[in-house]
Every structure is written in C-alpha cells, then in structure tokens.
C-alpha cells in the first residue's frame, strides 16, 4: 500500500490502464526523491539469468535492493519505465511486475528498445518518493 501522500489518478475520461499502473500519481508532499538508474538483469556476481522471466525477476530484485538501500520499498515507487527488447515480453513483464508490486500501481511507461548489452532482455528505471 502506498503512503497516504501518494494518490493515484485514473480519470473516467481517459482509457483505463491496461494493467497494474496509474495514469497519474500525485505527490501531495514529499521529503525526498530517489532516482533509480536503469537496472539490468545482472546479479551482484555479474551473472545474467537465462530467459525473459528470470531476467525480469532479477531486474526487479535489483530495483528493490536499491530502494531498500535508501530505506524505501515498492510502495514508494511513483514512476517506473521499463525498456523491453521484444513486444512478446509485454504480457510476461506485466505479470512479473504485478507480482513484485502487489497492489501498488505507480505511473508506468513501457518502451521497446535495443539494449546496450545483447544479453540483457530488459532494463527498469524508477523514481520513488517519501
């Protein structure tokens, strides 16, 4: 559950979100912002898992570790941008994102790109607030 000062806005005059995000997220007040650089699916030992699902879970674990290092959690996320390398990854990405975020629905953008390292099938960057 997001903190009370983070309010989701999904107006009926705009199409409904296509799964697990908010059209707008308002920060009524905040003490600090955390900008999470793009997290790739690489473990601390440099290992890159095989397959999209395993890579997506690793990238999310990395995001969560950066949040935790700042004393924050997924409920503090206000904006997430996910860079995928294939449109076929949209549905499994959504499923894994929902599992990682639970009921929390930050503002979201998903973009299809080519990654810097061809081993990486995605990258996730985020903004969190407290």
69 band by pLDDT with thresholds 50, 70 and 90: very high
What are the chain's domains?
Answer: 6-10+19-129 (3.30.1330.40)
Q: Calculate the alpha carbon distances from 105 to 47, 81, 117 in Å.
A: 30, 13, 29
Euclidean distance between CA atoms 21 and 2, whole angstroms: 13
Q: What is the share, in percent, of the chain residues with pLDDT greater than 70?
A: 97
pLDDT tens across 88-112, in order?
999 999 999 999 999 999 999 999 9
pTM exceeding the 0.75 threshold for the entire prediction: yes
Nearest Cα residue to 41 out of 50, 28, 30? 50
pLDDT for residue 2 is more than 70 = no
Tokens 């860079």 identify what position? 83
Euclidean distance between CA atoms 72 and 130, whole angstroms: 8
Q: What is the share, in percent, of the chain residues with pLDDT greater than 90?
A: 73
More confident residue, 30 or 112: 112
Euclidean distance between CA atoms 69 and 64, whole angstroms: 9
């Amino acid at each position: 559950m997001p903190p009370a000062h983070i309010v989701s806005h999904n107006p009926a005059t705009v199409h409904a979100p296509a799964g697990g995000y908010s059209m707008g997220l308002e920060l009524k007040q905040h003490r600090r912002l955390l900008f999470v650089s793009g997290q790739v699916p690489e473990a601390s030992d440099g290992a890159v898992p095989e397959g999209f699902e395993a890579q997506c879970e690793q990238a999310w674990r990395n995001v969560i570790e950066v949040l935790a290092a700042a004393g924050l959690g997924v409920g503090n996320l206000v904006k997430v941008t996910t860079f995928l390398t294939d449109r076929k990854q949209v549905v499994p990405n959504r499923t894994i994102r929902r599992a990682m975020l639970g009921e929390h629905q930050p503002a979201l953008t998903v973009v299809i790109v080519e990654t810097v390292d061809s081993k990486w099938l995605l990258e996730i960057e985020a903004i969190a607030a407290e």
